[in-house]
Amino acid sequence: MRAHSKVPELSSIPQLENLGHEVLSLMIRHDQLRPFINSIITEQELESIKLSESEQQQALNIYSRRHNLNSGKDVKIHCQKHGFNENQFGWQVQLQERVLRSSKNRFADKAELHYLTRKEQFDQVSYSQLIVKDLNLAHELILRLKEDGAKFNDLVLELTRNVERRPQWKVGPIPLARVPQPLSKPLQTAKPGSLLGPINVQGNWFVVRLEQYRPTEFDATMEQRMCLELFQRHVDTLVDQHMAIITANLSQNNTTISS
């Protein structure tokens, strides 16, 4: 006999209470349950925000561009394809703006600190590098670059003359977080054109010249981005909790049926 018991532990998500275990298992099998719960939790966490007519129109314009809706006919086909009625379409149109505003209202006071903990993932750097195994050779390369006017490109050709695959000597722009840790700190404090090294990175000696450093700023755009990240992190935590409860219930239910 199949079981279709409810999930009383998830009373904060009424939409799930009338779904039997068979339906929940089917949604998990097709990897649809987590996106479904994510959407529901997102809706629950939105603040009550009413957009003005001009703001609604702006939201519609943004939504239409994103989905390539250029006419009333396109909108009608889009709604038919997704099963939206008029109210549901309006909800979808305003959803992004409501998420933006709700996230900023709730997390603006934490956004700058969050940004500072992730700054290295946004700052970008470009540099030239020579990589050798021998420390004495690394010192020699620095002297040639500083005193003999040698060029990085010429030294690369010289060092890789008998190498089948020439290593990358121009790097970036890339996020500072992707730079090897022993290089990232010196590059952060150097001025463009500065020659750094020799620096040991996993048994190799690097001679590096900073070409460009592009720091980011905590401006309005970055603040909104951080607020969105914090909002989604909060939603993800709640989704994880509900998924854990559901899978535990399903496992217990299957054990009960088997016994």
Handedness of CA 230, 233, 237, 242 (dihedral sign): positive
In tens, the pLDDT along 29-82 reads 999 999 999 999 999 999 999 999 999 999 999 999 999 999 999 999 999 999
Q: Which domains can be identified in the chain, with CATH numbers? A: 18-117+221-258 (no CATH), 123-214 (3.10.50.40)
pLDDT bracket for residue 11 (50, 70, 90):
very low
Alpha carbons 210 and 215: distance in angstroms, whole number:
14
Q: Is the pLDDT of residue 1 over 50?
A: no
In tens, the pLDDT along 190-221 reads 999 999 989 999 999 999 999 999 999 999 99
pLDDT computed for residue 10 by the predictor: 47
pLDDT computed for residue 254 by the predictor: 64
Rounded to 5 degrees, what are φ and ψ at 192?
-55, 135
Which of these, 190, 183, 180, 188, lies nearest to 119 by C-alpha position?
188
Q: What is the DSSP letter of 32?
A: -
Alpha carbons 246 and 99: distance in angstroms, whole number:
26
Contacts of 217 (CB under 8 A, 6+ apart): none
Quick one: what percent of the chain has pLDDT higher than 70? 91
pLDDT computed for residue 248 by the predictor: 86
pLDDT bracket for residue 6 (50, 70, 90):
very low
Contact assessment for residue 209 and residue 196, using Cβ atoms and an 8 Å cutoff:
yes
pLDDT bracket for residue 255 (50, 70, 90):
low
pLDDT computed for residue 4 by the predictor: 41
User: How confident is the model over 21-35, as a mean pLDDT?
Assistant: 92
Q: Which residues pair with 128 in a beta bridge?
A: 170, 209
